[in-house]
Amino acid sequence: KDMDLTKQRNTLIEEMLQILIYVVGERYVPGLTNVTKEEVVMREIIHLLCIEPMAHSSIAKCLPENENNDTGLDKVINKIAIFKKPGVSGHGVYELKEQYQKQFNMFFYHYTKTQHSKAEHMQKKKRKQENSDEALPPPPPPELMPAFSNVVNLLHCDIMMHILRTILQRAVELDSSSWTESMIQMGLHLIALGLLEEKQQLQKAYEEDVTFDFYHKASRVGSSSPNAMSILMLLEKLKNIPQLEAQKDLVSCIQQMFDTVKHLREKSTVTVVATVSGSEVMKGDESTQEKDKRKRKAEAARLHRQKIMAQMSALQRNFIESHKLLYETTGDTQERVSATSEEESTPVAVDYSRIVLGPKRDPTVPEKEVLTCILCQEEQEVRMDAAAMVLTACVQKSTALTQNRGKSIMHSGETFDPHFMDPDLACGTHTGSCGHVMHASCWQKYFEAMNINSRHRLHVELIFDLENGEYLCPLCKSLCNTVIPIIPLQAQKLNNEDADAVSQLLTLSHWLEIVMARISGCSVKNMTGENQQSPVSTNDEARNSSVEFHSILSYGVQPSTRYSKSIEDMLILFATTVYRVGLKVPPNEADPRVPVMSWSTCAFTIQSIENLLADDGKPLFGSLQNRQSSGLKALIKFAAAQRTTSPQSLIQRHLVRFLAVLLPSIKLEDTPSLLSVDVFHILVGVILSFPSLYWEDAVELEPSPISSSYNNLYLFHLLTMTHIVQILISSATDYLPAQIQDESEEARSAAALYREVSQYTSGCLRQDIPGWYLWDCVKKGIIPYLRCAALFFNYLLGVTPPEELQSSSQDGQFKALCTYLSLPTNPFLLFQEYWDSINPMLQRWCSDPAVLNFLKGKGTQVRYPRKRNTLIELPEDYSCLLNQASQFRCPRSSDDEQKHPVLCLFCGAILCSQNTCCQETVNGDELGACTVHSLQCGAGVCMFLKIRECKVVLVEGKTRGCLYPAPYLDEYGETDPGLKRGNPLHLSHERYRKLHQLWQQHCIIEEIARSQETNQIFFGINWQLL
């Protein structure tokens, strides 16, 4: 009870002191003093900006409005504050100018308790950063009008003196329950106000005319008691109280103000000087003392350093003298080593090229990889025979690279054949990762715990779907739906002598014969009891030759790679997730399309990353974020290892399906034409499935490093030539003779090849296209393919790329890519070198009916290089969008006005959102116009701009979405959700670029999940009917 009474008494005293401060200190009222309305607004803004830098709208909300609903903000804001423009996020803010920081009043009348604490903290922090004291005395108040001039007498009346002495006396006594630090702070503030008032009056009049006498009354003892002390004496005692350490600077400041007033009273005459704040005078005196103190410390430190350095020099001399012989020997050795290195460096320095393919491939030198689990914090080395380590991952369908935005991407997953990606990349399967590592066992326990906890969280269904394997990363809360097993890189080193010997025997034509014989034999062996026919057309002699069937093994084999049971389980889990998400079907690990979907997501993810790097102007290697690099590396190694979890006969059938596009001797039904496939997807598929040809019934084998080097080289060369022909047919036929360039060797080679291709197309190709134009088209068109191939082989084989590919400069990029990938810088030389083998392939490619129909103008085709997708072009002025929306009328509605028009930022379509007129039924679900459009335009992921609300909506699937700031800002760098302020809005290209990157980086789902996790709403928006 006594404690409660004491607390209540202290609260009453604090409130009384606060009222006294307001009465004598708050003078910014027109008529009370000579202040104008602008000065009043300035003071309000100054104290708002002392809390923190604020946006224009936030300041305007805090200011009172006059009879014209005007705050007066715009008239004074630029005088007292500096505008800081916004970046790609946040909003523009005003920061208070340095010269107005001195006008901060800690007990400003309009501060709430929270604002008071925050302002005090920020100001003390700022002064500490400037290496000045943390005292915050009141600023000099304006002079009262004559009618109110007697109000200041409250400060030096006897009752006020008694109150101040009593408060300070209680602080000096041992009993701490009768005072609070806030009480002392207010008392010191009142003392400072009294001294400032007396100082101002002394500076304007003679001492005899000044009746305000705070100084003398504060210097007198309050009573005749022997223990009585004056306010000045009590201030000195306050410095020694540990609980008031934070007020020590303010006490020192007030003491110096006493000295200043005493000095003014001792003057015989009064000199009118410019008004200077007490804090400045004190700062000058204190700064002199501080400077002297710093000088003494610096001199002592300098002498101490000199002493230590002298001691170290002496020790070094003694050591050298005692080990003189050792130093002489070391010197001789270093000279010999340096001389030897100079001699050896001469021949080695000639060639710094690095090669990833072929018999001259650089060795793979894997580093020991030790990773830390984010759940149990235990470290583990990544090994093939150890327990699996996994990366969090999110698999999603994507249309980010599509060249045909209006193309329908809705298909039946049950019957869809994923072997061949359309060249327009209409819809792919992208795999991303946040880069966080876990033990597979830890992740399984975490996921099980999430299942249990979800039953007690009502909003969990709005964030992630546990039934579809979704979860939030334990560390960064990114949305994930699977994990990628981390496969270690195996050391591979070629024997140069053996590789040279093989090169004499294994030419491309001989390699093709061996491969065809092997495929023919495997096809016959894998036939079931049904009446099947081998897809390979070969002569009977080759088909019956067991030597030819096994001859592929004679160029080097090794035992197949074996993985631990834990890694195999994770390989199957991730492959099944890719299959389920990519085809929108129930999980089925036995489906023959599972391996194909694994290779497809690998190829599409590489293409997405290459497109992103090219769009940002970043180098191919060395510029990826750690999460992107680790995710891509794990994905490519997974795609290579997944083959071991499927029947090898199935992998062989997939390989034959891919090769049927290239090789005329393989005849399969529904084989697409050259112009109907994406070559890079086929490259990834054939490279990763080709080792299945080495599989034997009795023993599990795979190609040796030498065999692999030739297999990879020849497959890459074949597909590169395929892509060159693709470019010549589809992209080099729209030449307009506008300029003439000199014919180079590459141009002549391009013209020669073009003539051969023209012969096989029945003369459908134009004949007037110059060689230099053909070469220019091929060079520009093939670079994205080569960049993707370089990324793929780098992470697959672990050969360090050349330095030219690690810089953002485009000079020398083509040459570096060709060198790294074992290509001649004139790629048409491949056709000359392999002409006997490539000629029949060329005839088949060019005589395909689909190719001839295109050349006759009966179809459209993707042109290379593919265009980079961007969000639609928006007008600079937002009013243009409002006008556009006002003219929109929904064809399905009879209403004249559409309340919620939205703009798709992917394709530019305007829809009427949240209206029943445009709702459709899809697979039994009633969906709104935006949700239906997102399924068709973005494979379920889309961005919309709500035109009449100036908000961006991110949508994913049928049940998830979030609001995102629009890329339109007013002149103060702020968005205007709901268009409530009505300021003119203009497009921020930086904000719009960030939205574009959010889309191209496939982070929309991640942004939605984080937004919903942060804003946990039990009854959220019905995104299904958006």
Got the DSSP string for 517-574? HHHHHHHHHT--SS----SB---HHHHH-HHHHHGGGGG-EEEPP---HHHHHHHHHH
In angstroms, rounded to a whole number, what is the distance separating the alpha carbons of residues 318 and 191?
Answer: 66
DSSP 387: P
**Which among 680, 767, 746 has a CA at the least distance from the CA of 719?**
680
Exposed, middle or buried by CB within 10 Å (0-12, 13-18, 19+), for 361?
Answer: buried
Alpha-carbon Rg for the chain, nearest whole angstrom, is 40
Exposed, middle or buried by CB within 10 Å (0-12, 13-18, 19+), for 807?
Answer: middle
Sign for the CA dihedral angle at 876, 879, 884, 885 comes to positive
pLDDT bin (cut points 50, 70, 90) of residue 1016 is low
Look at residue 444 in the predicted model and tell me its pLDDT. Answer: 93
Beta carbons of 155 and 197 less than 8 angstroms apart:
yes
Q: Is the pLDDT of residue 363 over 90?
A: no
Residue pointed to by tokens 């000065």 = 39
Best mean pLDDT range from 490-499, 759-768, 825-834: 825-834
Look at residue 632 in the predicted model and tell me its pLDDT. Answer: 94
Q: Is the pLDDT of residue 560 over 60?
A: yes
Q: Is the pLDDT of residue 999 over 60?
A: yes
Look at residue 16 in the predicted model and tell me its pLDDT. Answer: 92
Got the DSSP string for 423-460? TT--SEEEEE----EEEHHHHHHHHHHHHHHHTT-TTG
In angstroms, rounded to a whole number, what is the distance separating the alpha carbons of residues 516 and 545?
Answer: 12
Residues 6+ apart with CB under 8 A from 225: none
Q: Is the pLDDT of residue 917 over 50?
A: yes
In angstroms, rounded to a whole number, what is the distance separating the alpha carbons of residues 976 and 639?
Answer: 47
* More reliable by pLDDT, 820 or 71: 820
Q: Is the pLDDT of residue 427 over 70?
A: yes
Average pLDDT on 282-296 reads 59
In angstroms, rounded to a whole number, what is the distance separating the alpha carbons of residues 51 and 54?
Answer: 9
In angstroms, rounded to a whole number, what is the distance separating the alpha carbons of residues 451 and 444?
Answer: 11
Look at residue 494 in the predicted model and tell me its pLDDT. Answer: 72
Cα torsion through 39, 44, 49, 55, rounded to 10 = -100
Structure tokens at 624: 């990826």
Q: Is the pLDDT of residue 459 over 60?
A: no
CB atoms within 10 A of CB 990: 14
pLDDT bin (cut points 50, 70, 90) of residue 531 is very low
In angstroms, rounded to a whole number, what is the distance separating the alpha carbons of residues 1016 and 1026?
Answer: 19
Average pLDDT on 892-901 reads 66
Taking only the tens place, the pLDDT of each residue in 179-236 is 888 888 899 999 999 988 888 888 887 777 778 888 888 888 766 666 678 888 888 8
Provide φ and ψ at 413, rounded to 5°: -65, -25
pLDDT bin (cut points 50, 70, 90) of residue 454 is confident
Taking only the tens place, the pLDDT of each residue in 51-72 is 988 888 888 888 887 766 677 8
Whether the model pTM is above 0.85 = no
The Cβ-side half-sphere exposure at 25, using a 13 Å CA radius, reads 28
Taking only the tens place, the pLDDT of each residue in 865-895 is 899 999 999 999 999 988 888 877 776 666 6
In angstroms, rounded to a whole number, what is the distance separating the alpha carbons of residues 148 and 210?
Answer: 17
Best mean pLDDT range from 196-205, 626-635, 805-814: 626-635
Q: Is the pLDDT of residue 705 over 90?
A: no
What 3-state class would DSSP assign to 872? coil
What 3-state class would DSSP assign to 151? helix
In angstroms, rounded to a whole number, what is the distance separating the alpha carbons of residues 231 and 237?
Answer: 10
Beta carbons of 139 and 105 less than 8 angstroms apart:
yes
pLDDT bin (cut points 50, 70, 90) of residue 697 is confident
Look at residue 963 in the predicted model and tell me its pLDDT. Answer: 87
Beta carbons of 73 and 45 less than 8 angstroms apart:
yes
In angstroms, rounded to a whole number, what is the distance separating the alpha carbons of residues 805 and 619?
Answer: 6
Residues pairing with 904 in the sheet? 944
Helices 813-820 & 771-797, crossing angle to 10 degrees? 50
Average pLDDT on 433-446 reads 93
**Which among 542, 482, 491 has a CA at the least distance from the CA of 514?**
542
**Which among 48, 65, 54 has a CA at the least distance from the CA of 100?**
48
Average pLDDT on 315-324 reads 62
pLDDT bin (cut points 50, 70, 90) of residue 671 is confident
Average pLDDT on 324-342 reads 43
Average the pLDDT over each of 201-210, 361-370, 724-733, 736-745 and give the range with the smallest value: 736-745
Q: Is the pLDDT of residue 423 over 50?
A: yes
Residues pairing with 471 in the sheet? 480
Structure tokens at 928: 């709104």
Structure tokens at 23: 């009465």
Percentage of the chain with pLDDT > 70?
84
**Which among 565, 254, 593 has a CA at the least distance from the CA of 411?**
593
Sign for the CA dihedral angle at 384, 386, 392, 394 comes to positive
In angstroms, rounded to a whole number, what is the distance separating the alpha carbons of residues 998 and 1002?
Answer: 6
Average pLDDT on 13-31 reads 90
Best mean pLDDT range from 658-672, 819-833, 927-941: 819-833
Residue pointed to by tokens 């984010």 = 374
Average pLDDT on 791-802 reads 91
Average pLDDT on 115-125 reads 89
Q: Is the pLDDT of residue 268 over 50?
A: no
CB atoms within 10 A of CB 678: 25
Look at residue 1026 in the predicted model and tell me its pLDDT. Answer: 64
In angstroms, rounded to a whole number, what is the distance separating the alpha carbons of residues 3 and 112?
Answer: 26
Chain CA centroid to CA 867, Å: 24
Query: Which residue type, as a one-letter code, is found at position 970?
Result: D
Chain CA centroid to CA 648, Å: 40
Q: Is the pLDDT of residue 347 over 50?
A: no
* More reliable by pLDDT, 761 or 524: 761
Mean pLDDT of the residues in the chain:
82
In angstroms, rounded to a whole number, what is the distance separating the alpha carbons of residues 62 and 115?
Answer: 12
Look at residue 224 in the predicted model and tell me its pLDDT. Answer: 62
In angstroms, rounded to a whole number, what is the distance separating the alpha carbons of residues 855 and 730?
Answer: 8
pLDDT bin (cut points 50, 70, 90) of residue 561 is confident
Look at residue 461 in the predicted model and tell me its pLDDT. Answer: 53
State which H helix or E strand residue 462 sits in: none
Look at residue 898 in the predicted model and tell me its pLDDT. Answer: 54
